Amino acid sequence: MSESGLKICIVGGGAAGLAVAKVFKETEQSKSGLWTVRVFEEREDIGGTWLSAPATDKNIPPPTPMYDSIITNLPHPIMCYQSYWFPPSTPLFPKAGVVQDYLRAYAKEFDLMPHVNLSTSITSAVWTGNKWNITARGTSTSNGPEVTLEFDKLIVANGHYHVPFFPSLPGLDSWRSKDRVTHSAWYRHPIPVGDKVLVVGGGYSGIDIAEEMSTACKTLIHAAPHSVAVSHGNIVVHDSRAARLSELGADANPESERVVYFEDGSTESGIDHIFLATGYSLSFPFFKPPQLLVAPPSEPIHPSSPSDPLPEHLHNSEHHVFPLARFLFPISQDFPPESAAFVGLPVRVAPLPLFEAQARAIVKVFSDQSALDVPTEIQSIHERLASIRSNPDIIPPEPNSNEDSIIAHYWHTFKGREQFIYRDALHAFSGLTGDEWKVPEWVMESYENMVEMRKLWKEIVEKGEDEKWCKGVGEKGGEEGKEEWVEVMRRLLGMVRERKEADGLADKLNGPVPEVEPEKVV
């Protein structure tokens, strides 16, 4: 196309890819025909991880980790696209199927499906110097034909949940060979696997799986360092920082003691089965070296001082992509930063509104490559490195040979209000500076209390009171309908505050979140 015309490839038709397609479709360049967008989704429908699927053979990761009972981690008024809210009367913490229906409705509302190629996998993405050669293959048959297409820009939005992460634990391979280990990616519902079960991981999936599996065993051990999980019933929680699993006994045979060891020196014996809720590795198999290098865990890739240069090539560890300007644009000698973008890498965020904000920043850079000041972006990367290294809660003060891998693990992890500072900064970068683009206080407060809100909502559901909370809410539509949802959120927040005050935990759990300097985030 001409210099002002662009053919744009989006990899992934989940929530991130759809957000990018919607934002780009609304640009003047797209409306005039200068920009064209194509989305490639390897599954049979849009939705990504929200599109349910049964568990697969143990050697083949399932296309989604969604288990049968899962509800969202966040109430939908703060997790939804801010341009398109959930329908009236939707339960505050909806099930996966409701979210999938919402994504389909979003695609229909903004007429995105004509731009989406379903059942199409991207097998190769190669920068030729001024274009991307994108090779696609149909997935509806076992050996579909490949075709190579030419694009000006590439946006990677293929999600987080494709490759289950198995920690490097002595003894784990032996236990897996005896079918005594299941990653949460394969979990769908409680199944009998023995009297004593260990769940590893303190996130929402780990907590949910522990609760459910406790109904199918006599004793449930939950290794959940720094988690909100608590011991109750037949669930015993190891929650101290030193309670991380360190080793599995070498012998996993039925007649053995089947011992697991923790970093604090404690042990548990007689473990019949282990569920690993240990997350996922970032994977972009369509890139080939040197355009994206898979970083070995032992190879340092982060400069040790601001005077040291960033790596020449883009690196992909299990937890991050480095270096990226604004967590989006590659800084690499292999292709210019305005040629590509990675959407949806930050974690511990309200994802859908962030996807749209990131898309707006990408539009800005694709429209005007001079908008991205690379030296300033490099300085921001060095500042974030310094901020992580100076935090004793992340990097221990004593010499640590694992520093580089710890940095990788935390690089895309946002704490406190970092995500909201980042979202506001993306909008400001995009030229959207009005108050309507700033994250409102009720959203930030809701996110800070999401654990307690989710727990309280589950209690409301168990009592059968959820329908009266949400019935008819949002029916007025427009800003009035949104305000109805905000009032429901404030009501639930009020109940959370009352409970904390009654428990004497208000100061501890609901205190102010430390402010974060914007330059440390973006």
User: Tens of pLDDT along 251-310?
Assistant: 767 777 899 999 888 899 999 999 999 999 999 999 999 999 987 756 789 999 999 999
pLDDT at 265: 87
In-domain check, residue 398: no
CA distances from 177 to 34, 59, 171, 180, 226 (A): 55, 11, 10, 8, 30
182 and 127 assigned to the same domain: no
The model's confidence at residue 4, banded by pLDDT at 50, 70 and 90, is low
User: Which token pair is 444?
Assistant: 């930030």
Among the listed residues 98, 109, 114, 122, the one whose alpha carbon sits nearest the alpha carbon of residue 47: 98
224 and 330 assigned to the same domain: no
Give phi and psi for 482, each to the nearest 5. -65, -40
The answer to whether residue 1 scores a pLDDT higher than 60 is no
The model's confidence at residue 317, banded by pLDDT at 50, 70 and 90, is very high
Q: How far apart are CA 495 and CA 289, in angstroms?
A: 53
Among the listed residues 23, 102, 76, the one whose alpha carbon sits nearest the alpha carbon of residue 350: 76
Q: How far apart are CA 380 and CA 391, in angstroms?
A: 17
In-domain check, residue 76: yes
For the chain, percent of residues with pLDDT exceeding 70: 93
Buried-exposed string 445-472: b where 16+ CB fall within 10 A, e elsewhere: bbbbbbebbbebbeebbeeeebeebbee
311 and 216 assigned to the same domain: no
Which of 278, 311, 338 is where one domain is finished? 278
CA distances from 103 to 45, 108, 113, 330, 449 (A): 11, 9, 11, 28, 25
Q: Which of 84-88, 142-146, 365-369, 511-515 has the lowest mean pLDDT?
A: 511-515
49 and 138 assigned to the same domain: yes
Q: How far is CA 360 from the centre of its chain?
A: 19
pLDDT at 507: 47
Q: Are 42 and 144 in contact (CB under 8 A)?
A: no
What is the average pLDDT across 386-395?
90
Q: How far apart are CA 99 and CA 102, in angstroms?
A: 5
In-domain check, residue 214: yes
pLDDT at 241: 65
185 and 312 assigned to the same domain: no
pLDDT at 401: 64
User: Which token pair is 233?
Assistant: 């019933």
Number of domains composing the chain: 2
User: Tens of pLDDT along 145-173?
Assistant: 899 999 999 999 999 899 999 998 999 99
Which of 278, 303, 328 is where one domain is finished? 278
194 and 288 assigned to the same domain: no
In-domain check, residue 238: yes
pLDDT at 298: 63
Q: Are 193 and 272 in contact (CB under 8 A)?
A: yes
Among the listed residues 128, 150, 124, 446, the one whose alpha carbon sits nearest the alpha carbon of residue 284: 124
40 and 141 assigned to the same domain: yes
More confident residue, 465 or 402: 465
User: Tens of pLDDT along 24-58?
Assistant: 999 999 999 999 999 999 999 999 999 999 988 88
What is the average pLDDT across 411-415?
95
Q: How far is CA 311 from the centre of its chain?
A: 25
Complete DSSP assignment for 271-299: --EEEE---EE---TT--TTTSEE--TTS
Residue 210: partners with Cβ closer than 8 Å, 6 or more residues away: 199, 220, 222, 224, 229, 235
What is the average pLDDT across 178-194?
96
152 and 298 assigned to the same domain: yes
What is the average pLDDT across 307-330?
96
In-domain check, residue 432: no
pLDDT at 250: 78
253 and 189 assigned to the same domain: yes
User: Which token pair is 327?
Assistant: 């967590």
The model's confidence at residue 212, banded by pLDDT at 50, 70 and 90, is very high
The answer to whether residue 521 scores a pLDDT higher than 50 is no
What is the average pLDDT across 76-100?
98
Domain that holds residue 125: 6-163+281-382
The answer to whether residue 462 scores a pLDDT higher than 70 is yes
138 and 177 assigned to the same domain: no
More confident residue, 142 or 62: 62
The model's confidence at residue 2, banded by pLDDT at 50, 70 and 90, is very low
The model's confidence at residue 395, banded by pLDDT at 50, 70 and 90, is confident
The answer to whether residue 396 scores a pLDDT higher than 80 is no
CA distances from 490 to 21, 268, 388, 425, 472 (A): 32, 43, 34, 26, 17
The answer to whether residue 20 scores a pLDDT higher than 60 is yes
In-domain check, residue 439: no
Q: CA torsion, points 385, 391, 392, 396, in degrees to nearest 10?
A: -10
In-domain check, residue 39: yes
pLDDT at 516: 33
pLDDT at 89: 98
The model's confidence at residue 464, banded by pLDDT at 50, 70 and 90, is very high
The answer to whether residue 509 scores a pLDDT higher than 60 is no
Helices of type H across 42-171: 76-79, 96-109
Q: Are 160 and 280 in contact (CB under 8 A)?
A: yes
Average pLDDT, the chain: 92
The domain that holds 143 is classified in CATH as 3.50.50.60
257 and 300 assigned to the same domain: no
User: Tens of pLDDT along 415-443?
Assistant: 999 999 999 999 999 999 999 999 999 99
157 and 99 assigned to the same domain: yes
Which of 382, 403, 438 is where one domain is finished? 382
Complete DSSP assignment for 357-419: HHHHHHHHHHH-GGGS-HHHHHHHHHHHHHHHHT-TTTS-SS--TTHHHHHHHHHTB--TTHH
CB atoms within 10 A of CB 518: 14
Question: Facing residues of 325 across strands?
Answer: 329
Complete DSSP assignment for 135-164: EEEE-SSTTPPEEEEEESEEEE---S-SEE
Buried-exposed string 394-414: b where 16+ CB fall within 10 A, e elsewhere: bbeeeeeeebbbbbbbbbbbb
In-domain check, residue 485: no
What is the average pLDDT across 183-200?
97
Q: How far is CA 116 from the centre of its chain?
A: 22
CA distances from 159 to 110, 124, 270, 345, 450 (A): 21, 17, 37, 8, 23
